[in-house]
């Protein structure tokens, strides 16, 4: 793997310039440059195409397995993420007859107000931000995880980030805070992988339904061309989208009645009625162990005939819970939302 694009060279050749407003600029490599310096080997590219297709088949009801998008709320430590990935890959192979397991590799975090925004923005978590380093470390991590044979999922928060990393991703989420955004809907219209739209933070599913309709359409949007210059990007429309139920404003929406209502609204709107249930976020009300109860309850709905439920999302890491950032971090424990630990994860997926 060619690692020749290094941060020092980039920062030397592109000195920050002071704009009139007082904002600062640090140039970044173009997406083409970053992809060329850390390319995806041909065998991994082939596997990613297969993973995307396997997910599409589940969404279309052609494969009865359950799609499980699982992993840390956010990645702050690549070593722990790789250890988690190795364990998850072994487990995924064992339960492959029932589940298609996709690892959450969330490198960007949407914040309610402010907070650490993820490895991509601030890999050292100093608050200073370093997108050059964040891009290199994020792409390297996704390459290493992909090389293990794991399908990867992420939340696409900045449309620019997908230009740098999207070729390594098999399933994408648009988060509750951005489902209503036209810019995100336009981006999904051009994404080559299946994408889930979360319901809004207030629990509304109408915004996700509108997002699915919009993303299925062609769009013209602002973007960056392959030479790194601004370009008008024309997208074809992404027909492989679905709703993710994550609860909202403290109210859950994973129960049979809520799922039925969602399926009926999706069907009336003429969009895909396949639903993934996010067992975390407002459904779990920040109590990680509630995810276990929710996953069992949702799988029971599926077993008793609700074929519209195609997937689960779970937040899981090596250690249970969460921690505040400090100089004395617990290895493998989330810095953002609480996660179930590895032991709980393994027990859950083997027993479901």
Ligand X SMILES: O=C[C@H](O)[C@H](O)COP(=O)(O)O
Ligand Y SMILES: C=C(OP(=O)(O)O)C(=O)O
Q: How far is the CB of 176 from ligand X (least distance, A)?
A: 8
Tell me whether residue 132 or residue 280 sits nearer to ligand Y (CB atom).
280
Selection from ligand Y, ligand X, none that 228 binds (CB < 5 to 8 A by kind) is none
Among residues 76, 109, 198, 219, the one that binds ligand X under rule CB under 6 A: 109
Tell me whether residue 40 or residue 207 sits nearer to ligand Y (CB atom).
207
How far is residue 81's CA from residue 37's CA, in Å, rounded to a whole number?
A: 22
- The residue with its CB nearest to ligand Y is 175
Tell me whether residue 47 or residue 180 sits nearer to ligand Y (CB atom).
180
String of contacts with ligand Y for each residue 11-50, x by CB under 6 A: ----------------------------------------
Selection from ligand X, ligand Y, none that 167 binds (CB < 5 to 8 A by kind) is none
Under rule CB under 6 A, residue 117 binds ligand Y: no
Among residues 31, 118, 134, 175, the one that binds ligand Y under rule CB under 6 A: 175
Under rule CB under 6 A, residue 111 binds ligand X: yes
How far is residue 95's CA from residue 312's CA, in Å, rounded to a whole number?
A: 15
How far is residue 341's CA from residue 318's CA, in Å, rounded to a whole number?
A: 5
User: Of 161-169, 170-178, 227-235, 262-270, which segment contacts ligand Y by CB under 6 A?
Assistant: 170-178
Would you tell me how many other CB atoms lie within 10 Å of the CB of residue 24? 10
Under rule CB under 6 A, residue 76 binds ligand Y: no
Under rule CB under 6 A, residue 322 binds ligand Y: no
Task: Note whether 198 and 156 are within 8 A (CB).
Answer: no
Tell me whether residue 34 or residue 152 sits nearer to ligand Y (CB atom).
152
Tell me whether residue 38 or residue 279 sits nearer to ligand X (CB atom).
279
User: Of 106-114, 137-145, 157-165, 220-228, which segment contacts ligand X by CB under 6 A?
Assistant: 106-114
Q: Is 132 exposed, middle or buried (0-12, 13-18, 19+ CB in 10 A)?
A: buried
Count Cβ neighbours within 10 Å for each residue of 239-250 and write b for 16 or more, e otherwise: bbbbbbbbbbee
Among residues 110, 192, 239, 321, the one that binds ligand X under rule CB under 6 A: 110
Among residues 10, 55, 73, 271, the one that binds ligand X under rule CB under 6 A: 73
Q: Is 228 exposed, middle or buried (0-12, 13-18, 19+ CB in 10 A)?
A: middle
Tokens of 271: 């969009």
Among residues 2, 15, 23, 112, the one that binds ligand X under rule CB under 6 A: 112
Phi/psi region, residue 169 (left: phi>0; alpha: psi -120 to 50; beta: rest), is beta
Under rule CB under 6 A, residue 260 binds ligand X: no
Would you tell me how many other CB atoms lie within 10 Å of the CB of residue 309? 22
Task: Note whether 70 and 314 are within 8 A (CB).
Answer: yes
Under rule CB under 6 A, residue 336 binds ligand X: yes
Q: How far is the CB of 236 from ligand X (least distance, A)?
A: 30
- The residue with its CB nearest to ligand X is 112
Under rule CB under 6 A, residue 73 binds ligand Y: yes
Selection from ligand Y, ligand X, none that 133 binds (CB < 5 to 8 A by kind) is none
How far is residue 118's CA from residue 237's CA, in Å, rounded to a whole number?
A: 29
18's CB contacts (< 8 A; 6+ apart) are 24
How far is residue 4's CA from residue 15's CA, in Å, rounded to a whole number?
A: 20
Tell me whether residue 100 or residue 176 sits nearer to ligand Y (CB atom).
176
Task: Note whether 224 and 231 are within 8 A (CB).
Answer: yes
Backbone angles phi and psi of 165, in degrees to 5: -125, -15
Tracing tokens 């030397």 back to the chain, one arrives at: 12
Tell me whether residue 216 or residue 244 sits nearer to ligand Y (CB atom).
244
* 126: β partners: none
Binding region for ligand Y (CB under 6 A): 73, 106, 110, 155, 175-177, 198, 246, 278, 281
Binding region for ligand X (CB under 6 A): 73, 109-112, 115, 281, 336-337
């Amino acid at each position: 793997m060619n690692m020749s694009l290094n941060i020092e060279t980039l920062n030397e050749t592109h000195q920050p310039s002071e704009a009139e407003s007082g904002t600062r600029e640090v140039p970044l490599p173009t997406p083409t440059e970053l992809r060329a310096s850390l390319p995806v080997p041909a065998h991994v590219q082939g596997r990613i195409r297969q993973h995307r297709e396997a997910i599409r088949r589940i969404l279309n009801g052609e494969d009865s397995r359950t799609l499980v998008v699982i992993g840390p709320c956010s990645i702050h430590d690549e070593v722990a993420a790789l250890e988690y990935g190795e364990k998850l890959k072994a487990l995924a192979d064992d339960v492959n007859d029932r589940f298609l397991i996709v690892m959450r590799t969330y490198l960007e975090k949407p914040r309610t107000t402010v907070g650490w925004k993820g490895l991509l923005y601030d890999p050292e978590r100093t608050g200073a931000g370093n997108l050059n380093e964040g891009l290199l470390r994020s792409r390297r991590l996704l390459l290493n995880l992909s090389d293990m044979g794991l399908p990867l999922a992420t939340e696409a928060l900045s449309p620019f980030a997908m230009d740098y990393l999207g070729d390594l991703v098999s399933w994408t989420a648009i988060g509750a805070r951005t489902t209503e955004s036209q810019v995100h809907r336009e981006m999904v219209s051009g994404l080559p992988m299946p994408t889930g739209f979360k319901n809004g933070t207030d629990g509304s599913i109408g915004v996700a339904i509108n997002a699915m309709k919009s993303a299925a359409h062609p769009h013209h949007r602002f973007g960056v061309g392959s030479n790194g210059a601004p370009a008008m990007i024309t997208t074809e429309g992404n027909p492989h989208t679905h709703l993710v139920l994550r609860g909202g404003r403290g109210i859950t929406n994973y129960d049979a009645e809520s799922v039925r209502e969602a399926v009926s609204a999706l069907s009336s709107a003429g969009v895909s009625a396949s639903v993934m249930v996010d067992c975390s976020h407002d459904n779990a009300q920040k109590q990680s162990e509630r995810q276990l109860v929710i996953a069992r309850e949702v799988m029971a709905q599926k077993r008793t005939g609700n074929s519209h439920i195609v997937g689960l999302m779970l937040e899981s890491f090596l250690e249970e819970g969460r921690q505040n950032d400090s100089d004395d971090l617990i290895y493998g424990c989330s810095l953002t939302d609480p996660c179930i630990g590895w032991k709980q994860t393994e027990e859950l997926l083997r027993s479901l």
